[in-house]
Amino acid sequence: MGHYAVLWQQQDPPRLCFQAPQIGGFLFAHGGVFLTSVVPSTLVATRVPFDKETLTVAQQCARIMERGLTCDTAALEQVLCRTSYYRLSGYLWWFQTSDASHALREGTTLDDVIRLYEFDAKLRGLLLECVQIVEVWFRSQFTNHLANKFGPMAYVDPRYFANPGALKRDKAKLGERLAPPTEVFIESFFRNYSDDYPPVWMATEVMSLGLLSKWFDNLKIDSLRKAIASDSGLNQDVLASYLRQMTVIRNACAHHNRLWNRTFGTGIKLSKQGDPQLLTALVGSDDSKIYRALVYSAYLVKKIQPDSGLPARLKAHIMSGDDDWIIEMDAPNDFEKDDLWV
């Protein structure tokens, strides 16, 4: 096993199975598939079995109100029935004065919490619109540049990729999306042709953004990566880092996860040269916060589809939030005055 130490055998449900000392964490497995490294090794000795009780909706209401929320009980029950206690807790947390007691700031109302919840929901919707524009554009760029330069099957040819192992992994992932075919055009292709994979213009239509970004990352020919990125106005490495983070953000949006104050482990690189509008808007931005992703998204949408109106809508929505929300998102003072948002 090399530097890994087996702790427990794989079981169902998932159990801790391998220790990775070099990263101070552990890997979990379920059915032979490793899920994630989530538990710092320093915490293992202090872990105990989960024994918290399940609460009825009425008990959930009572607990939240005991912590200081001002609201009508029936209204809170309705909210909990359609959102769940745990999801709402992610927004109640913002109004807490103590992590230990979970006590809320005096005067906090259900309307305050719902306003933050709905602010975040609208932010996710606007970002999904941005992702749609960027993702479709990127598929087109990847397809056109690669196919015109090296042919329709170049995307599965190891000669054009830096890491053969990564290409093999990504082809296997694509294979899962191709068999059995769920798209008529894929089924028609395999009915008429003997190739193992369809041409790139079909393949990119069934790839996820995450999978396509890995294909782009793995391209060996630097001039090809530059050509694909050229219309974006971004360095190819910056674009690659943006696509990686937007994969995480896209998934968060699609699954309705809290987004506005999330901290990201995969940051977007800072552009050091290029359009002054972009560089000015990025000054002082934190790569782990949502604001940098918003800046790049607004910039790319303006480049790809200038008449979308999305940057202005994003700006207006951010400004509709409370000042402390905007600060938590990492948006600087007077960000709305930057030319990027016009």
Output the pLDDT for position 39: 60
**Residue 14 clears pLDDT 60, i.e. is over it:** no
Tens digit of each residue's pLDDT (9 = 90 or more) over 322-340:
999 999 999 999 999 999 9
**Residue 3 clears pLDDT 80, i.e. is over it:** no
171 against 180, higher pLDDT:
171
Output the pLDDT for position 6: 36
30 against 177, higher pLDDT:
177
Q: Give the rounded percent of residues in the chain with a pLDDT score beyond 90.
A: 82
Note the pTM of the prediction, 2 decimals. Answer: 0.85
Tens digit of each residue's pLDDT (9 = 90 or more) over 131-164:
999 999 999 999 999 999 999 999 999 999 999 9
State the SS3 of the chain: CCCCEECCCCCCCCEEEEEEHHHCEEEEEECCEEEEECCCHHHHHHCCCCCCCCCCHHHHHHHHHHCCCECCHHHHHHHHHHHCHHHHHHHHHHHECCCCCCCECCCCEHHHHHHHHHHHHHHHHHHHHHHHHHHHHHHHHHHHHHHHHHCCCHHHCHHHECCHHHHHHHHHHHHHHHCCCCCHHHHHHHHHCCCCCCCHHHHHHHCCHHHHHHHHHCECCHHHHHHHHHHHCCCHHHHHHHHHHHHHHHHHHHCCCCCCCCCCCCCCCCCCCCCHHHHHHHCCCCCCCHHHHHHHHHHHHHHHCCCCCHHHHHHHHHHCCCHHHHHHCCCCCCHHHCHHHC
Output the pLDDT for position 44: 66
